[in-house]
Amino acid sequence: MNSDVGMLETWLVRVHGQVQGIGYREACVCRARALAVTGWVRNRMDGSVEAMIQGSRRQLAEMCAWLREGMPAALVEEFEVTEVPPPFARFDEFNRLPSL
């Protein structure tokens, strides 16, 4: 039994700056899967990237650190994290969604 299961958290992250058109979402999917974080990522029409990430607090903190600074081509100007209160949907994997 995974000890993190009881401490599953879901965070909604908005990343503003130079984060579209540089492979940021694809890299985000690879990083999330490497960290065993589930959820999704998508571009927004305002030029930002939005991600719903789910995992343990430690996993999500690592994912947020990557979203802020992990891709050299990205220029993150603003970073917002909102904790999603339970109950929330359970994600089985991490995917890229169509732009919104």
Could you give the angle at the alpha carbon of 23 between the alpha carbons of 20 and 28, nearest 5°? 95
**What is the bridge-based pairing of β-strands 75-84 and 94-96?**
unpaired
Give me the residue spans of the domains in the chain.
Answer: 5-85
How many beta carbons lie within 10 A of that of residue 11, not counting itself? Answer: 20
Taking only the tens place, the pLDDT of each residue in 54-99 is 999 999 999 999 999 999 999 999 999 999 998 888 999 999 999 9
CATH topology for 5-85 is: Alpha-Beta Plaits (3.30.70)
* Of 43, 68, 95, 96, catalytic: 43
Taking only the tens place, the pLDDT of each residue in 30-63 is 999 999 999 999 999 999 999 999 999 999 999 9
pTM of this structure? 0.91
Could you give the angle at the alpha carbon of 6 between the alpha carbons of 31 and 38, nearest 5°? 25
How many beta carbons lie within 10 A of that of residue 49, not counting itself? Answer: 22
Does the active-site annotation cover 2?
no
Does the active-site annotation cover 25?
yes
* Of 2, 25, 57, 58, catalytic: 25
How many beta carbons lie within 10 A of that of residue 19, not counting itself? Answer: 21
